[in-house]
């Protein structure tokens, strides 16, 4: 079962959102009453160096106080805690952690990291919610919430501004509730008024792996080889640090982590590799353009030296380099990104 160290008895709601998330969160918070009997923790994706006004917006929209928490601040019901930019928001025992551990799927804060820490610490008292957003941050974390006995809630993709995040969760798990945004606040009112579900027991090794991944998000256990015992070492390298990647499997979901802690889903890793290929193709095009320019310069030099045959041969080579550069460019702009998000059409 989940960590026995947490002594709080109130529900803990963890929410992940990305594109379209601010408006969705404002709509939700407007419908939550003062004295709401649960703590609400939010990861909304935001650029690392942006200024986040989300707590102020949420305070003005509803009846609950909202803020960016301080590291090791106590967790209390009736409050909304928003992850600060470029920091993970984690839960441990009866307080909040604000850390700068490695990114997951290129995100910090990470929805997955918040969800895992909440599930590990609060078990069946956790309610995880995935809202609108692109890509698939939150899928693994919500799987962990459900795995440890918590409640998994997903916004109906047809109701979401960006349906990729909720759609991803539906491909890898069956949520306990699939709702529209308008249905969410009433559902939370019912769930928080009910006793927590029975705690779920899972193998000690799986708990240890979840705990290690939480430690990585805290910025601890960097370079720890223990992670490799929980998965299969692969021939792939981390796009962020070029270290070896270990493959982790959560039922149908495949993920990867490197020794320094960067995490990727299969789709996110494929997108990173595809971007790397594109960058290398642009570098090849630029090298061909440099070759063309050098050959033209040499051709002009030999033309001035009254050696027209050499100048003509060099100019021919320059034209060949230009054609090759153009061919590379056309391939770059015409090819479809292999990001793993497209699904075969139904017959």
- The one-digit pLDDT tens for each residue of the chain (347 residues) are 445 445 668 999 999 999 999 999 999 999 999 999 999 999 999 988 889 999 999 999 999 999 999 999 999 999 999 999 999 999 998 899 999 999 998 899 999 999 999 999 999 999 999 999 998 999 999 999 999 999 999 999 999 999 999 999 999 999 999 999 999 999 999 999 998 877 778 889 999 999 999 999 998 866 566 778 888 999 999 988 888 999 999 999 999 999 888 999 888 888 888 888 888 889 999 999 999 999 999 999 999 999 999 999 999 999 999 999 999 988 888 765 555 544 443 33
Strand order in the sheet with 232-237: 232-237, 244-250, 253-258, 263-265
Q: Does 12-193 carry CATH code 3.40.50.300?
A: no
Report the distance separating Cα 317 and Cα 314, nearest Å. Answer: 5
Report the distance separating Cα 133 and Cα 25, nearest Å. Answer: 12
Report the distance separating Cα 342 and Cα 80, nearest Å. Answer: 35
Q: Catalytic residue, from 18, 124, 215, 299: name it.
A: 18
Closest CA to 140 of 109, 168, 118: 168
0.75 exceeded by pTM: yes
Placement of tokens 């034209």 in the chain: 319
Q: Dihedral sign for Cα 22, 90, 153, 143, please.
A: positive
68 catalytic per annotation? no
53 catalytic per annotation? no
Q: Catalytic residue, from 137, 215, 262, 299: name it.
A: 137
Residues contacting 310, CB < 8 A, separation 6+: 299, 302
Report the distance separating Cα 17 and Cα 254, nearest Å. Answer: 21
Report the distance separating Cα 255 and Cα 210, nearest Å. Answer: 13
Q: Where are the beta strands (DSSP E) in 131-243?
A: 151-155, 177-179, 232-237
287 catalytic per annotation? no
Closest CA to 141 of 117, 158, 109: 117
């Amino acid at each position: 079962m989940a960590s026995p160290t947490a002594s709080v008895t109130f529900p803990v709601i963890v929410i992940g959102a990305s594109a379209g998330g601010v408006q969705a969160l404002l709509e939700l918070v407007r419908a939550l009453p003062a004295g709401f009997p649960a703590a609400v923790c939010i990861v909304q994706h935001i650029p690392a160096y942006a200024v986040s006004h989300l707590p102020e917006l949420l305070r003005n929209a509803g009846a609950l106080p909202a803020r960016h928490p301080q590291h090791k601040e106590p967790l209390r019901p009736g409050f909304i805690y928003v992850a600060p930019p470029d920091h993970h928001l984690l839960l441990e025992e009866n307080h909040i952690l604000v850390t700068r551990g490695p990114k997951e799927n290129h995100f910090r804060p990470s929805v997955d990291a918040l969800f895992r820490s909440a599930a590990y610490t609060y078990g069946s008292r956790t309610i995880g919610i995935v809202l609108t957003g692109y890509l698939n941050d939150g899928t693994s974390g919500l799987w962990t919430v459900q795995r440890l006995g918590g409640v998994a809630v997903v916004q109906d993709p047809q109701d979401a501004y960006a349906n990729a995040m909720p759609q991803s969760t539906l491909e890898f798990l069956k949520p306990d509730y699939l709702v529209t945004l308008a249905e969410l606040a009433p559902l939370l009112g019912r769930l928080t008024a009910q006793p927590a579900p029975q705690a779920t027991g899972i193998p000690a090794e799986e708990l240890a792996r979840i705990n290690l991944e939480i430690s990585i998000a805290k910025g601890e256990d960097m370079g720890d080889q223990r992670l490799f015992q929980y998965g299969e070492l692969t021939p792939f390298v981390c796009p962020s640090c070029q270290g070896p990647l270990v493959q982790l499997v959560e039922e149908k979901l495949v993920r990867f982590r490197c020794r320094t802690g960067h995490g990727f889903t299969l789709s996110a890793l494929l997108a990173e590799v595809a971007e790397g290929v594109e960058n290398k193709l642009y570098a090849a095009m630029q090298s061909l353009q440099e070759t063309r320019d050098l050959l033209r310069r040499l051709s002009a030099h030999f033309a001035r030296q009254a050696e027209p045959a050499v100048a003509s041969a060099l100019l021919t080579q320059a034209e060949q380099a230009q054609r090759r550069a153009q061919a590379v460019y056309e391939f770059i702009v015409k090819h479809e990104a292999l990001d793993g998000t497209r699904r075969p059409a139904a017959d």
